[in-house]
Structures are given as C-alpha cells and as structure tokens.
Homo-oligomer: A and B are copies of this chain.
Amino acid sequence: MSKNPKIAVFGGGSWATAIVKMLCENLEQVGWYMRNQNAVDYIKENEHNPNYLSSAEFNVDQLFLSSDINEMVRYADILIFAIPSAFVKVELDKITEELSSKIVFSAIKGIIPETGLIVGEHFNKMHNVPLENIGVITGPCHAEEVAMERLSYLTIASKDEEIAKVMSKYLSSNYIKTKISDDIIGTEYAAMLKNIYAMAAGMAHGLGYGDNFQAVLMSNSIREMKRFIKKVHKMKRNINNSAYLGDLLVTGYSVFSRNRMFGNMIGKGYTVKSAMMEMSMIAEGYYASKSAYLLNEKNNINTPIIDAVYQILYLNKNPKTVFKNLTNLID
C-alpha cells in the first residue's frame, strides 16, 4: 500500500455521502463515484448531495467526482463500496478494470441477492480480490447523525491489521471514533442481519406491541444473531461489541432507521408493495430476510425472528398471526 493511497467511495446514498464527509476531514482529495451524472453535476454546483443527506456540505475542490465507475476504479487504491446490496452486482458488472490489486472495503449491509454472498465474499469469489485485501466498515452509525457531526463509533474490520488501521486513521475525526476488528465475515453478517431484526421491531410496533415486548424481541434478536453468525463463521467474538449489538440497537430503536420504518408500515397493514412505494429508499432488510432465510435452509439454525419476517414479506402471511405465533417461540 502506498503511503498516501487514493481512496474512493462508490455510491450516491446517505451512507456513501456520510463516508465521503468523514474522509474529507482527513484527506486532501476523495474520489466519489455515483451512477447518476445529474447528481454529480448538482454536487459540483451546489456542494451537497441533491437526494440524500443534503445537509452535509462539501468543499468540491476536495472531491474527485465521476459517474464513470471504471475511471474511479483506476483512480483509487482503496475502494469503499456503499451501494445498496440489491444494486451492487449491476454496478460491479460494469467494471472492466482489474480489481484484484485493489483494497476493497464494504460499507454495504447486505447479501448480493444474485449470488447469495456477503459483499466481501462476492469480491473475493467474483472479482479475485484476495481476502486479505478486503475490509468492512460498520456502525452503529446512522448517516444522518454523521451529517450532524454527532459522536459516532465505527468498527473497521480486515484480516490485515495494517489495512484496518489505515482506514481507521482516515475515518477518525473529532466526531468519529474507530475500533478495529479481524472479523470481516461476522461484522458483515451482523450488519445484514440487524436490518431484519429492525424490520421485526418495526412490525411489532406497528402491530401495537409495546416497549416491554420490544426489549424481549431485541434480546432474542441478538441471541439469534449470535447463533447465526457462529454457524456461518465460527471464531472468537464478543457479540455484545458495538459492531454487533450496538449496530442492532441503533437500527432497532432509532427513528432514523428505514428498516424499522418499513416494518412499522407492514405492521400497520400496508402491503409490501405499498410500503415500498411510500418510501423513497430501499429497506435492506427486505432483501436480507430472503437471503438469510435461504441460507438458513441448509444451515438449519433456530431463527424464529428471521422466519417470521420472511413469512410476512415473501409468503404473504398475516403479520398479526405470525407475531402471535412468534411470541411463543421467544423468551
């Protein structure tokens, strides 16, 4: 890795925007790819993202903006992907440049639907990026609070401690504290699973369950997450660390959470289609619940909460009935 590696963020959403903001605190130049040329033009003109996290202001002289993904891949030594998981494959399929020599960070919270792989594995298997060159950036961190510069903690995971440390350094600032980890698989799964549990929390709320039940649901969620991750990637980890439990809590309890909001609408009686139409953002948990459910068909872990969300979203089961049943499966 060069001493002053070039870093680029891929994505035009809230989280991508927040990461660009964090990097701008430390770097002279930050690459920023977004597929929409209009958005690129808008940012150059107005110094903020037109669609997401628009309260975050940028010094455009610091930004190297492009809607050409190959140009951005060529530019960067370290690539940070923050594209919703459902669109990752479409974007990556545009790449003709070689990725195998790059350091790739995933700030995506989900599974690539087309391959059923978490993002790190997808880069490894589909784009020949060595596992040692793959990292994960995870919360608990709502982008909205980064825009407000409210103190937030990130976990930077990589098998290569040096890489994790470098990324930590570039993301840290007076409102961002970082911690490093070597659990790239576990942190990615946690980031994906938490969206399902946040959706369940929203559904419960929409159905009229109260705070007492929410606490039981979250307590069961972290135990379910622990079982799930242990099965897919066994290693020593403290599931109560911020990257796992903290990330679950911020998503399950915060009003900023789109997954919770989506679940809430479902609980209140919206159909999946109408809830999707109401929201201008993708709720990652929607895709994640299917991926996790399918993955679990072979792993056979006891995951009553994931199962409940899947049944409601994909099998069109009645949320009230499914939750009534779920209350007997958790404790």
User: Residues on A close to B: CB < 8 A?
Assistant: 139-142, 145-146, 148, 150-153, 177, 179, 208-216, 218-220, 222-223, 226, 238-242, 245-247, 249-250, 253-256, 327, 331
Contacts and interface: CB of A to CB of B under 8 A. Distances in A.
B250 A215 contact: yes
A213 B150 contact: yes
A215 B240 CA distance: 11
Nearest to A247: B215
A59 to B, nearest CB: 24
Contacts of A220: 242
Given A218-B249, A249-B219, A331-B177, A153 B240 contact: no
Contact of A151 (B212, B246, B254): B212
A202 to B, nearest CB: 14
A269 to B, nearest CB: 19
A214 B210 CA distance: 20
A139 B249 contact: no
Contact of A249 (B148, B153, B247, B249): B249
B216 A150 contact: no
Contacts of A151: 209-210, 212-213, 327
A254 B216 CA distance: 13
Given A327-B151, A331-B242, A250 B212 contact: yes
30 contacts: A139-B212, A140-B219, A141-B212, A142-B211, A142-B212, A145-B210, A150-B208, A150-B212, A151-B210, A151-B212, A152-B216, A153-B212, A153-B331, A211-B254, A211-B255, A212-B250, A215-B242, A215-B247, A215-B249, A215-B250, A216-B246, A218-B246, A219-B240, A219-B242, A219-B249, A220-B242, A222-B240, A223-B240, A241-B331, A249-B253
A179 B331 contact: yes
Contacts of A218: 245-246, 249
Stoichiometry, copies per complex: 2
Identify the 5 closest CB pairs spanning chains A and B, nearest first: A215-B250, A219-B246, A140-B215, A150-B210, A152-B212
B214 A238 contact: no
Task: Name which of A214, A220, A249, A250 has the most chain B CB atoms within 10 A of its CB.
Answer: A249
Nearest to A245: B219
A240 B239 contact: yes
A62 to B, nearest CB: 24
Contact of A216 (B146, B212, B226, B242): B242
Contacts of A223: 238, 240-241
A253 B216 contact: no
A215 to B, nearest CB: 4
